[in-house]
Amino acid sequence: MPYAGLNLDGMTALVTGSGRGIGSALAFGLAQAGANVALSDVPEQLPGARETAERIKGEGVDSRTYGLDVLDLANIRRTVDEVVRDFGRLDILVNNAGIRRRQPALEVTEDNWDAVIDTNLKGPFFCAQAAARVMIEQGGGRIINISSQLAIIAGENRAAYCASKAGLANLTRVLALEWIKYGITVNAIGPGPTETPGLLAADTRSAAELAADLSANMPLGRRMLPEELVGAAVYLASPSASATTGHLLIVDGGWTAI
Protein backbone atom coordinates (compact mmCIF):
# COMPACT_ATOMS: atom_id res chain seq x y z
CA MET A 1 0.00 0.00 0.00
CA PRO A 2 1.50 3.39 -0.95
CA TYR A 3 2.24 5.96 1.73
CA ALA A 4 -0.94 7.96 2.29
CA GLY A 5 0.88 11.19 3.05
CA LEU A 6 0.08 14.16 5.26
CA ASN A 7 -1.90 16.16 2.71
CA LEU A 8 -5.21 17.62 3.95
CA ASP A 9 -6.37 19.07 0.62
CA GLY A 10 -10.15 19.34 0.36
CA MET A 11 -10.75 18.69 4.07
CA THR A 12 -12.47 21.04 6.49
CA ALA A 13 -11.28 21.42 10.07
CA LEU A 14 -13.00 23.05 13.05
CA VAL A 15 -10.63 24.20 15.81
CA THR A 16 -12.10 25.33 19.13
CA GLY A 17 -10.35 27.93 21.24
CA SER A 18 -8.43 29.13 18.18
CA GLY A 19 -8.29 32.84 18.93
CA ARG A 20 -4.75 32.58 20.29
CA GLY A 21 -2.02 30.25 21.53
CA ILE A 22 -2.07 26.57 20.64
CA GLY A 23 -5.44 26.74 18.89
CA SER A 24 -4.31 29.52 16.55
CA ALA A 25 -1.06 27.70 15.74
CA LEU A 26 -2.84 24.41 15.03
CA ALA A 27 -5.43 26.12 12.84
CA PHE A 28 -2.71 27.77 10.75
CA GLY A 29 -0.72 24.53 10.56
CA LEU A 30 -3.73 22.56 9.32
CA ALA A 31 -4.28 25.23 6.69
CA GLN A 32 -0.66 24.98 5.55
CA ALA A 33 -1.28 21.24 5.09
CA GLY A 34 -4.20 22.07 2.77
CA ALA A 35 -7.32 22.12 4.96
CA ASN A 36 -10.00 24.76 4.99
CA VAL A 37 -10.31 25.90 8.60
CA ALA A 38 -13.21 27.08 10.73
CA LEU A 39 -11.91 28.98 13.75
CA SER A 40 -14.05 29.34 16.86
CA ASP A 41 -13.74 30.95 20.26
CA VAL A 42 -15.59 32.91 22.91
CA PRO A 43 -16.55 36.47 21.89
CA GLU A 44 -13.62 38.21 23.61
CA GLN A 45 -11.13 36.07 21.66
CA LEU A 46 -12.76 36.42 18.24
CA PRO A 47 -10.57 39.37 17.12
CA GLY A 48 -7.55 37.08 17.36
CA ALA A 49 -9.42 34.33 15.51
CA ARG A 50 -10.25 36.76 12.70
CA GLU A 51 -6.58 37.73 12.39
CA THR A 52 -5.64 34.05 12.12
CA ALA A 53 -8.39 33.53 9.52
CA GLU A 54 -6.89 36.26 7.35
CA ARG A 55 -3.44 34.65 7.62
CA ILE A 56 -4.98 31.31 6.65
CA LYS A 57 -6.62 32.77 3.55
CA GLY A 58 -3.16 33.85 2.48
CA GLU A 59 -2.31 30.12 2.26
CA GLY A 60 -4.87 29.72 -0.53
CA VAL A 61 -7.58 27.97 1.50
CA ASP A 62 -10.85 29.15 2.99
CA SER A 63 -11.29 30.21 6.61
CA ARG A 64 -14.17 31.63 8.66
CA THR A 65 -14.74 32.45 12.32
CA TYR A 66 -17.55 31.43 14.67
CA GLY A 67 -18.48 32.46 18.18
CA LEU A 68 -18.41 29.31 20.29
CA ASP A 69 -18.67 28.81 24.03
CA VAL A 70 -18.16 25.11 24.68
CA LEU A 71 -20.22 25.41 27.87
CA ASP A 72 -23.30 26.12 25.75
CA LEU A 73 -24.51 22.85 24.20
CA ALA A 74 -26.97 24.56 21.87
CA ASN A 75 -24.15 26.84 20.70
CA ILE A 76 -22.01 23.76 19.96
CA ARG A 77 -24.70 22.13 17.81
CA ARG A 78 -25.45 25.40 16.04
CA THR A 79 -21.78 26.05 15.25
CA VAL A 80 -21.23 22.58 13.81
CA ASP A 81 -24.34 23.02 11.64
CA GLU A 82 -23.06 26.42 10.46
CA VAL A 83 -19.63 25.02 9.58
CA VAL A 84 -21.22 22.24 7.52
CA ARG A 85 -23.51 24.75 5.82
CA ASP A 86 -20.63 27.13 4.99
CA PHE A 87 -17.97 24.56 3.97
CA GLY A 88 -20.14 21.66 2.85
CA ARG A 89 -18.53 19.14 5.20
CA LEU A 90 -16.59 18.63 8.45
CA ASP A 91 -13.64 16.24 8.38
CA ILE A 92 -11.51 17.26 11.35
CA LEU A 93 -12.40 18.49 14.83
CA VAL A 94 -9.66 19.79 17.11
CA ASN A 95 -10.96 20.14 20.68
CA ASN A 96 -8.52 22.75 21.93
CA ALA A 97 -10.61 25.10 24.08
CA GLY A 98 -9.57 24.84 27.72
CA ILE A 99 -8.79 26.74 30.90
CA ARG A 100 -6.55 26.27 33.94
CA ARG A 101 -6.92 27.62 37.46
CA ARG A 102 -3.91 27.02 39.67
CA GLN A 103 -4.97 26.49 43.30
CA PRO A 104 -3.97 24.29 46.24
CA ALA A 105 -6.43 21.41 46.53
CA LEU A 106 -7.60 22.64 49.93
CA GLU A 107 -8.63 25.97 48.40
CA VAL A 108 -10.47 24.77 45.29
CA THR A 109 -14.06 26.00 45.24
CA GLU A 110 -16.97 24.23 43.62
CA ASP A 111 -17.28 27.05 41.08
CA ASN A 112 -13.64 26.76 40.03
CA TRP A 113 -13.79 22.96 39.91
CA ASP A 114 -16.91 23.05 37.72
CA ALA A 115 -15.48 25.72 35.43
CA VAL A 116 -12.36 23.67 34.68
CA ILE A 117 -14.07 20.29 34.38
CA ASP A 118 -16.91 21.66 32.25
CA THR A 119 -14.62 23.55 29.88
CA ASN A 120 -11.90 20.92 29.57
CA LEU A 121 -13.98 17.73 29.62
CA LYS A 122 -17.71 18.26 29.22
CA GLY A 123 -17.30 20.76 26.37
CA PRO A 124 -14.98 18.56 24.29
CA PHE A 125 -17.31 15.58 24.71
CA PHE A 126 -20.31 17.43 23.33
CA CYS A 127 -18.25 19.02 20.55
CA ALA A 128 -17.07 15.53 19.59
CA GLN A 129 -20.62 14.18 19.75
CA ALA A 130 -21.95 16.92 17.44
CA ALA A 131 -19.06 16.50 15.01
CA ALA A 132 -19.32 12.70 15.01
CA ARG A 133 -22.95 12.82 13.94
CA VAL A 134 -21.87 14.74 10.83
CA MET A 135 -18.84 12.53 10.23
CA ILE A 136 -20.92 9.35 10.42
CA GLU A 137 -23.09 10.62 7.57
CA GLN A 138 -19.95 11.45 5.56
CA GLY A 139 -18.36 8.05 6.17
CA GLY A 140 -15.57 9.09 8.53
CA GLY A 141 -13.50 11.82 10.10
CA ARG A 142 -10.80 12.77 12.57
CA ILE A 143 -11.25 14.03 16.13
CA ILE A 144 -8.20 15.35 18.00
CA ASN A 145 -8.47 16.27 21.67
CA ILE A 146 -5.86 18.55 23.22
CA SER A 147 -5.09 16.95 26.55
CA SER A 148 -1.82 17.48 28.45
CA GLN A 149 1.24 15.68 29.75
CA LEU A 150 -0.53 16.25 33.08
CA ALA A 151 -2.98 13.56 32.01
CA ILE A 152 -0.38 10.97 33.02
CA ILE A 153 1.63 12.76 35.73
CA ALA A 154 0.65 14.95 38.67
CA GLY A 155 1.24 18.63 39.24
CA GLU A 156 0.82 20.51 42.50
CA ASN A 157 -1.99 23.06 42.68
CA ARG A 158 -3.65 21.58 39.58
CA ALA A 159 -6.23 19.14 40.97
CA ALA A 160 -9.06 20.16 38.66
CA TYR A 161 -6.81 20.62 35.63
CA CYS A 162 -5.08 17.25 35.99
CA ALA A 163 -8.42 15.52 36.56
CA SER A 164 -9.93 17.15 33.48
CA LYS A 165 -7.01 16.29 31.20
CA ALA A 166 -6.75 12.71 32.45
CA GLY A 167 -10.49 12.37 31.91
CA LEU A 168 -10.13 13.73 28.38
CA ALA A 169 -7.37 11.22 27.60
CA ASN A 170 -9.55 8.29 28.68
CA LEU A 171 -12.63 9.75 27.01
CA THR A 172 -10.53 9.72 23.84
CA ARG A 173 -10.08 5.95 24.17
CA VAL A 174 -13.78 5.34 24.77
CA LEU A 175 -14.85 7.36 21.74
CA ALA A 176 -12.17 5.69 19.63
CA LEU A 177 -13.59 2.28 20.49
CA GLU A 178 -17.18 3.30 19.82
CA TRP A 179 -16.64 5.23 16.60
CA ILE A 180 -13.96 3.32 14.68
CA LYS A 181 -16.77 1.32 13.06
CA TYR A 182 -17.91 4.58 11.45
CA GLY A 183 -14.47 5.40 10.06
CA ILE A 184 -13.85 8.03 12.76
CA THR A 185 -10.51 8.08 14.55
CA VAL A 186 -10.25 9.78 17.94
CA ASN A 187 -6.85 10.69 19.34
CA ALA A 188 -5.35 13.15 21.79
CA ILE A 189 -2.22 15.26 21.97
CA GLY A 190 -0.56 15.79 25.36
CA PRO A 191 1.47 19.01 25.24
CA GLY A 192 4.08 19.81 27.82
CA PRO A 193 4.58 23.37 29.11
CA THR A 194 3.91 25.60 26.13
CA GLU A 195 4.39 29.35 25.82
CA THR A 196 0.79 30.58 25.54
CA PRO A 197 -1.08 33.61 26.92
CA GLY A 198 -3.20 31.33 29.11
CA LEU A 199 -0.21 29.60 30.67
CA LEU A 200 1.62 32.88 31.26
CA ALA A 201 -1.44 34.39 32.95
CA ALA A 202 -1.88 31.37 35.23
CA ASP A 203 1.79 30.99 36.22
CA THR A 204 2.53 33.10 39.29
CA ARG A 205 6.05 31.75 39.87
CA SER A 206 9.12 33.97 39.87
CA ALA A 207 11.65 33.76 37.06
CA ALA A 208 14.01 31.89 39.38
CA GLU A 209 11.33 29.38 40.37
CA LEU A 210 10.41 28.79 36.72
CA ALA A 211 14.05 28.30 35.72
CA ALA A 212 14.55 25.77 38.52
CA ASP A 213 11.42 23.86 37.51
CA LEU A 214 12.41 23.68 33.84
CA SER A 215 15.96 22.68 34.73
CA ALA A 216 14.73 19.82 36.90
CA ASN A 217 11.89 18.56 34.69
CA MET A 218 12.27 19.72 31.08
CA PRO A 219 15.09 18.08 29.10
CA LEU A 220 14.32 20.49 26.25
CA GLY A 221 15.45 23.25 28.62
CA ARG A 222 12.63 25.65 27.79
CA ARG A 223 8.92 25.88 27.33
CA MET A 224 7.74 24.68 23.96
CA LEU A 225 6.29 26.89 21.25
CA PRO A 226 2.71 26.31 20.02
CA GLU A 227 4.05 25.66 16.52
CA GLU A 228 5.93 22.61 17.83
CA LEU A 229 2.58 20.83 18.22
CA VAL A 230 1.51 21.29 14.60
CA GLY A 231 3.23 18.17 13.25
CA ALA A 232 1.36 15.93 15.68
CA ALA A 233 -1.98 17.48 14.72
CA VAL A 234 -1.35 17.25 10.97
CA TYR A 235 -0.36 13.60 11.28
CA LEU A 236 -3.43 12.66 13.35
CA ALA A 237 -5.68 14.54 10.91
CA SER A 238 -4.12 12.99 7.82
CA PRO A 239 -4.83 9.87 5.76
CA SER A 240 -1.64 8.38 7.22
CA ALA A 241 -3.33 8.07 10.62
CA SER A 242 -6.19 5.86 9.42
CA ALA A 243 -5.16 3.06 11.81
CA THR A 244 -4.11 5.33 14.69
CA THR A 245 -6.94 5.73 17.19
CA GLY A 246 -7.38 5.89 20.94
CA HIS A 247 -3.83 7.21 21.28
CA LEU A 248 -2.44 9.95 23.55
CA LEU A 249 0.53 11.44 21.69
CA ILE A 250 2.75 13.14 24.25
CA VAL A 251 4.70 16.13 22.92
CA ASP A 252 6.42 17.50 26.00
CA GLY A 253 10.10 18.12 25.36
CA GLY A 254 11.01 14.96 27.24
CA TRP A 255 9.26 15.89 30.52
CA THR A 256 7.63 12.49 31.02
CA ALA A 257 10.77 10.63 29.91
CA ILE A 258 12.55 11.48 33.15
For 120, counting Cβ atoms within 10 Å of its Cβ (0-12 exposed, 13-18 middle, 19+ buried), the class is buried
CA dist 2 → 5, 35, 239, 240 (Å) = 9, 22, 11, 10
Domains in the chain with CATH codes: 12-248 (3.40.50.720)
pLDDT tens-place string over residues 195-206: 987 666 666 667
pLDDT tens-place string over residues 20-56: 999 999 999 999 999 999 999 999 999 999 999 999 9
The residues carrying an active-site annotation are 161
Question: Which stretches within the chain are classed as H helix?
Answer: 21-32, 46-57, 73-87, 110-117, 123-138, 159-179, 197-202, 207-217, 230-237
Span 126-135, mean pLDDT? 98
First to last CA, the chain: 37
pLDDT computed for residue 39 by the predictor: 98
pLDDT tens-place string over residues 172-219: 999 999 999 999 999 999 999 999 876 666 666 677 887 888 888 899
pLDDT computed for residue 202 by the predictor: 65
Q: Find how far residue 189's CA is from the centre of its chain.
A: 7
79, pLDDT greater than 90: yes
The single-letter DSSP state of residue 103 is B
- 12-15 β-sheet, strand order: 63-67, 36-41, 12-15, 92-95, 141-146, 184-191, 248-251
